[in-house]
Structure 1
Amino acid sequence: MKWQATEMDTYLQAKEYVDTAIIPLIPLSWQREVKQTVAMGEFISIITSEVEKQFHGRVVQFPSFTYLKTESFDKRIIRLSEWKEELRAGGINHIVYLTSDGEWKTVEGELVGMLLWMPTIPLEHMDMNYKKDVISDQMKQLIPILTNQWQAK
């Protein structure tokens, strides 16, 4: 389910089946590596939407957790911890973070939940059919990871 009022009616009716939050981690920079930073966010946003479609009724696609590339990881972790507390109090058992920012791998152990890092694939110059194939290939890799996570708990 998406973070939309119309989707929340469905959520409230099927609350006991929805136990996973999908949170895209989106960097922001307007001074250095602007295009690369935007490409990361664009790619992860597309992947997040596809995960939501694939697991509609099991996951909620939350708004992006945006952060400045210059923001310290301590601050980012504190803010994400507040999100985690809110979600857990509301009945979310699994939190999945999606990112193309490899720096998150350095603090993965400090996160509560699963971090899925995917290298950015530049989609801007691909034709639509090839773009769909690339996204489909990425999803084929993500689906077993997510289903294994659910089965493990």
Structure 2
Amino acid sequence: MLWNAKEISLYLKEKAYIDTIIVPLLPISFSDRTKQEAEQAEFITLLTNLLERQFKGRMLLVPPFTYLSEEDAQHRLEKLQKWIQEFESRQFDHVFCLTSDSGWKEFESDLDGKLIWMPSIPLEHMEEKYKRKIVDDQVNQLVKLIVQKWQTN
């Protein structure tokens, strides 16, 4: 389910069946990494939207956790942990944070298996048919990973 009025109304009626939240983690900066971070945002947004479609009725895609790249990493982690605690207190059994920012990898253990890191693939100059194939392959990997995590919890 998407974070919009129509689908949230449905979520409120059916929330007993929606046990998973997906949180895109998106860095922003206006530095030499700006274009790379925009590519990451495009890639992660595309992946999370397709993932949500695969699991509609079981998964809620929330707005991205957006942060400044230059922000203190520990502070960023603490803010994300507050988000996760809030979701878990609202009866979400599974929270997955999806990112292409390798800076999060150092906090994998702090996020208790909730972090999914995917290397970003620049899609800007790719032909549509190749772009679709690559993204579909990535989504299929994510589907398998999430189903596996559901089964182990």
- After TM superposition, the score normalised by the length of structure 2 is 0.96
AA paired with 2:74? D
Give 1:66-81 correspondences, 5 Å limit.
66-81=66-81
- C-alpha displacement of 1:112: 4.3
Shift of 1:89: 1.7
Structure 2 counterpart of 1:29: 29
Counterpart Cα distance in 1 of 2:70 and 2:137: 32
Superposed counterparts of 1:1-153, under 5 Å: 1-153=1-153
User: Percent of aligned pairs with the same residue?
Assistant: 42
Distance 1:113 1:57 in 2: 23
In the alignment, structure 1 segments of 5+ residues that lack a partner are none
Distance in 2 (alpha carbons) for counterparts of 1:142 and 1:63: 19
Verify the 8 A CA contact 1:95 1:113 in the aligned structure 2.
Answer: no
Structure 1 contact 94–113 (Cα < 8 Å) conserved: no
Asked if the contact 1:26/1:67 (under 8 Å) is kept, the reply is yes
Question: Are the equivalent residues in 2 in contact too, given 1:28–1:38 (CA < 8 A)?
Answer: yes
Question: How far apart are residue 32 of structure 1 and its match?
Answer: 2.3
Match of 2:102, as an amino acid?
G
- Alignment partners' CA distance in 2, 1:86 and 1:118: 25
Query: What's the Cα RMSD here?
Result: 1.1
Mapped to 2, the partners of 1:27 and 1:16 lie a distance apart of 32
1:71-99 superposed Cα distances (whole Å, 9 cap, x missing partner) = 11211111112211221121111110100
Q: Which amino acid aligns with 1:52?
A: E
- Mean Cα displacement is larger for which, 48-57 or 79-88? 79-88
Q: Which runs of 4+ in 1 moved over 4 A?
A: none
Inter-partner Cα distance in structure 1 for 2:142 and 2:112: 19
Name the SS for the 1:147 alignment partner: helix
What code does the residue aligned with 2:66 have? Answer: T
The Cα of 1:49 is off from its aligned counterpart by 0.4
TM-score, normalisation: structure 1: 0.96
Give secondary structure in 2 for the equivalent of 1:110: coil
CA drift at 1:12: 1.5
In structure 2, how many angstroms separate the alpha carbons of the residues matched to 1:113 and 1:13? 29
| DSSP-derived class of the 1:22 partner | strand
What is the total number of aligned residue pairs between the two structures?
Answer: 153
